[in-house]
Amino acid sequence: MTEQVKIENIIRNTRKYWYVDGLSEIAGGLIIFAAGLTYWLVSTLENTSIKAILLMIAQPAVIIIGSLIVQRILPKIKERLTFPRTGYLTFRKPPRNRRFKRALVVGLVAGLVSALVTMVSNKLPDNYLPLLSSVFLLIFSIYIGYQTAVPRFYLIGILMVLLGAVISFIPFGNALPYTLFFCGVGIIWIISGVITLIGYLKKTSPQMEES
């Protein structure tokens, strides 16, 4: 094993600690669920020209705003719940402008995926959109799983594809398939986070109580 590989493994294991309690998945699931509801609300508009524009920008906007909120709230929750149990790990805190750029990149990627899905959807029936979206999310989930050394993200990716396939082959109408898919993905993330959190709380206890 080369020195570079060792360093990369150390970095991945360091990132892994951020996901040890499942809180990040719960937060991410809530954002995805909100994005699904946003798509449904926008789809109810009657003005087709405004609807087309909002369908491309509303979800990325929700993801950007949600990500910024999570970046402020999640560390405070971990300070009260996680760090007293398994120790404090200092992550190099990026400058505020870099954190904003990171959230902006996430939003832009979401916007790009939305735009791509919108363009492809012109040649596909609406009910196949969840299956198409699940492929992009599978790739994203595999990337997270590798970067953080957290294998459960691979399972999450498989579950998302299965959900997309099931919804795509059920005859729903209008925006319901896409809405159900994103809300379902959000629920998968939340359930994964809750299960991880419950297991974490059972296996650990605050250090002050142990002394």
Average pLDDT, the chain: 81
Task: State the angle between helix axes of 96-121 and 129-148 in degrees (0 to 180), rounded to the nearest 10.
Answer: 150
Contact partners, residue 34, CB within 8 Å, separation at least 6: 62, 66, 186
- pLDDT of residue 210 exceeding 50, the answer is no
CA dihedral for 39, 42, 47, 50, sign (positive or negative): negative
- pLDDT of residue 142 exceeding 80, the answer is yes
Q: How far apart are the C-alpha atoms of 209 and 211, rounded to whole Å? A: 5
Q: What is the DSSP string of 118-185?
A: HHHHTTS-GGGHHHHHHHHHHHHHHHHHHHHT-THHHHHHHHHHHHHHHHHTS---TTHHHHHHHHHH
For the stretch 52-109, pLDDT in tens is: 777 778 877 888 899 889 989 999 999 999 988 888 766 555 555 655 565 566 666 6
Q: What phi-psi label fits residue 95: left (phi over 0), alpha (psi between -120 and 50 degrees) or beta?
A: beta
Q: Considering only 2-6, 135-139, 153-157, 204-208, which range has the smallest mean pLDDT?
A: 2-6
Q: What is the pTM of this model?
A: 0.79
Contact partners, residue 144, CB within 8 Å, separation at least 6: 150, 153
Q: How far apart are the C-alpha atoms of 188 and 182, rounded to whole Å? A: 10
Greatest alpha-carbon span in the chain: 64
Give percent of the chain above pLDDT 70. 71
19-24 mean pLDDT: 93
For the stretch 160-175, pLDDT in tens is: 999 999 998 887 766 7
Q: How far apart are the C-alpha atoms of 150 and 145, rounded to whole Å? A: 5
Half-sphere exposure of 122 (CA within 13 A, CB side): 6
Q: Determine the pLDDT at residue 158.
A: 96
